[in-house]
Amino acid sequence: MRTDDMTASGALVFYSDFDDFDTWRQALRARLPGLRILHSSEVEDPAGIHYALAWKPPAGFFGRMPNLRLIINLGAGVDSLVGRDDLPAGVPVTRITDPDMARMMAGYVLFAVLRHARDIPWFEQAQRRGEWAYRHPRAPGDTRVAVLGLGELGACAAHELQRQGLTVLGWSRSPRAIDGVQCHAGMETLDAVIGQADILVVMLPLTEQTRGLLDRQRLLRLPRGAALVNVARGALVDQAAMTELLHSGHLGAATLDVFEREPLPADDPLWRMENVLITPHLASVAIPASAAAQIADNILRVSRHEAPRNQVDPARGY
Write the DSSP assignment of 128-152 as a string of letters. Answer: HTT-----PPPPGGGSEEEEE--SH
Instruction: State how far the Cα of 298 lies from the Cα of 311, in Å rounded to an integer.
Output: 10
Q: Three-state DSSP class for 279?
A: coil
Contact 78, 317 (CB under 8 A): yes
Query: For the chain, what percentages of helix, strand and coil (3-state, to nearest 5) are there?
Result: 35, 20, 45
Contact 60, 88 (CB under 8 A): no
Active site residue 281: yes
Per the residue annotation, which of 233, 261, 305, 309 is the catalytic one? Answer: 233
Active site residue 184: no
Q: Where are the alpha helices (DSSP H) in the chain?
A: 21-31, 99-117, 120-128, 152-163, 187-195, 216-220, 239-248, 288-303
Per the residue annotation, which of 39, 103, 173, 281 is the catalytic one? Answer: 281
Instruction: State how far the Cα of 93 lies from the Cα of 70, in Å rounded to an integer.
Output: 6
Write the DSSP assignment of 69-87 as a string of letters. Answer: -EEEESSS--GGGTT-S-P
What CA–CA distances, in Å, run from 180 to 90, 105, 142? 41, 19, 15
Q: Which residues are catalytic?
A: 233, 281
